[in-house]
Chain A
Amino acid sequence: MDEESTYTLEFEKPLRELQKQLDTLQSVSKVSDVDSAKEIQAIEEKIQAKKVEIYSKLTPWQRVQLSRHPKRPYSLDYFERIFSDFNELHGDRRYKDDAAIVGGPAFLDEAPVMVIGQQKGRNTKDNLKRNFGCPHPEGYRKAMRLMEMAERFNLPIVTLIDTPGAYPGIGAEERHVAEAIAVNIRDMSTLSVPIISIIIGEGGSGGALGMAVADEVMILENGYYSVISPEGCAAILWKDRAAAPKAADALRFSPADLIGFGVVDQIIEEPVGGAHRNYDQAAKNMKSSIKDALKRLNKKSQKKLLDDRYARFRKLGVFEDQAAVS
């Protein structure tokens, strides 16, 4: 990978500078007899230290930028690395196939599972097909069809969440995207097989929740899960989309906050600098979290699984009950 071009975000500027110095030194040492090994080593160490410094204390807004990084691994990148023999199944059997959601049976080592993910595009052409990861109602209906199939054949379900939100379009409204999401939320709460949902990038509001009513909800270290995009929140409350960093702070969606609120059960660590710097490592971490969770969930009886899932969401919310106090 071309290291220099990977430091593209504003807060990665110091790294970009150091990398430039390193590249210059390396190219000079190649064509001259000057031994710059020591200098090169010094800069490499500096880069490493700077990386740790920058990425260990990211602000919520910086995490949002990482979660949207154009080189970030998407659902299919993880499917390929975590599961074997993924067979994509298409269509909602009602209207069409929505390429912003992909899914089908696959194997986790030996065990069959149903995997479903929200899928962004890697380039412009791909993004037209994937609609930038913004699903239409048929995507949610396809996901539900596959999840019901999983229940019928007793396969655990793994969903990967990565969407800015469900698509705000005319067709989406005409075909009732709100209803499609609502039905998924309701029906996922009663599926009798284990469900694991992992937010791998953007967890955009209802569009994310429509595939994330699970027994265990996890998030990658640099993912975010929010009721509204920081830009949307900024536009409404500050009347200025540029206030997005402020909104990102106010919305309290850092992984630690999400754990504190009980919305997320586990944070999956990413390679230093973000999942896009090492797909294999990110996938490896995720795979081990999935396997551990399945071990836990497979021990539960069907009744306990459903009772626990209901209780998990039932208790979410912070309010005061004055009747209970008095």
Chain B
Amino acid sequence: MALFGKPQYSTVTVKKKDIPKDLWTKCPKTGEIIYNRVLKENLMVVPNSGYHFPLDARARIESLLDAESFAETDSGIHSLDPLSFNATASYPQKLKANQKKTNETDTVISGTGTISGQPVSIAVMDFRFMAASLGSAAGERITRAIERGLEQKCPVIIVSASGGARMQEGILSLMQMAKTSAALARLSQAGLPYISILTNPTMAGVMASFASLGDVIIAEPEALIGFAGPRVIKETTQQDLPSGFQTSEFLLDRGLVDMIIPRAEMRDRLSILLQAFGKNTASPGEDD
């Protein structure tokens, strides 16, 4: 029985404390170790492998808009605790911890700015904040960003990333899907373009509302995008998931995503799309 026994490997242990946390990061794709400074300069994309780490909302905005053009709006909108939600930790405690961690008040940063001189209304989700779950405050900021596009007759860009609805706000969280989508209906009726950018991961309630409704839907490479989580699907169906299931590339092939654009090229490509769709913002002919 020893003939084909387990080969004996010697184990090399690298103690976690030996790798300074704030200096280096390991690429999940290739295992390559990269300087954090290099990563930051490269918009959190690993130069060799092209792996896209999450980008925080402010860095994202900086990467997309013309320098100094961003004017933040609705930063005074804060989450409350309508359910007095108390599980293992209370919701206000969770909010506070996330505010401390991210230095942001909630999941969505929104405002106006320009891309190559073209005005846009933009909202960006920050995955670091409670997995960018969609609560009332986030829903309100997004809805106002859409309505601002309507008022100022400019295109709307939403950069999504989300684990889904914010359970701690119960049914009110679900209603944000209706609120945001109804606002997008009005934007569309006014003939104004909406570009939806999907980043890793964009799932569940966010995907089942505004993230899926772009006139143009752009995804970053290799993002996880879908409705139900892969683990839930596996457990429910007892089937093996196809390779690449629920990735940007899979969804481009299946016809949901219009284009996959690496982070570094996003601003230029947006600029061109805005030139194509954003010029003609006069309202369509009235027929009644």
Contact = CB atoms under 8 A, between A and B. Distances in A.
Contacts of A226: 170-171, 174
B182 A313 contact: yes
A208 to B, nearest CB: 8
Interface in A5-64: none
13 contacts: A172-B227, A172-B228, A173-B227, A173-B233, A181-B209, A185-B177, A185-B209, A186-B181, A319-B79, A319-B80, A320-B78, A321-B74, A321-B76
A225 interface: yes
Contacts of A170: 233, 237, 239, 241-242, 245
Contacts of A238: 87-88
B88 to A, nearest CB: 6
A31 to B, nearest CB: 52
Interface string A288-315: 0000000000000000000001100110
Interface size on A, as a range, is 35 or more
A323 B76 contact: yes
A160 interface: no
B78 A251 contact: no
Contacts of A319: 77-80, 135-137, 140
Given A206-B177, A317-B179, A318-B82, A251 B209 contact: no
Interface string B227-269: 1110011001101011001100001001110000000000000
Decide if the interface of chain B is mainly helix, strand, loop or mixed: helix
Interface of A: 166-170, 172-179, 181-183, 185-187, 189-190, 205-206, 209-210, 213, 225-228, 233, 236-238, 246-247, 250-253, 258, 261, 263, 309-310, 313-314, 316-326
A175 B226 CA distance: 11
Contacts of A228: 165, 167
Given A205-B205, A206-B204, A320-B78, A187 B175 contact: no
Interface centre among B143, B171, B186 (most CB of A within 10 A): B171
A167 B233 CA distance: 9
B88 A227 contact: no
Contacts of B246: 173
Interface residues of B, number: 66
A169 B246 CA distance: 11
Contact of B172 (A181, A182, A183, A261): A261
Contacts of A166: 208, 227-228
Contacts of B278: none
A250 B213 CA distance: 31
B184 interface: yes
A189 B185 contact: yes
B121 interface: no
B186 A182 contact: no
Contacts of A325: 76
B245 A186 contact: no
B136 to A, nearest CB: 3
A101 to B, nearest CB: 16
What are the 10 A-B residue pairs with the smallest beta carbon separation, nearest first? A168-B228, A317-B136, A323-B76, A322-B76, A189-B182, A318-B82, A316-B175, A178-B227, A182-B212, A178-B207
A189 B180 CA distance: 11
B234 to A, nearest CB: 9
B169 interface: yes
A251 B179 CA distance: 20
Given A179-B256, A318-B136, 19 more contacts: A166-B208, A167-B236, A168-B228, A168-B236, A169-B233, A174-B254, A176-B251, A183-B212, A185-B178, A185-B209, A205-B174, A237-B167, A261-B171, A310-B182, A316-B172, A318-B172, A319-B136, A321-B140, A322-B78
A313 B185 CA distance: 13
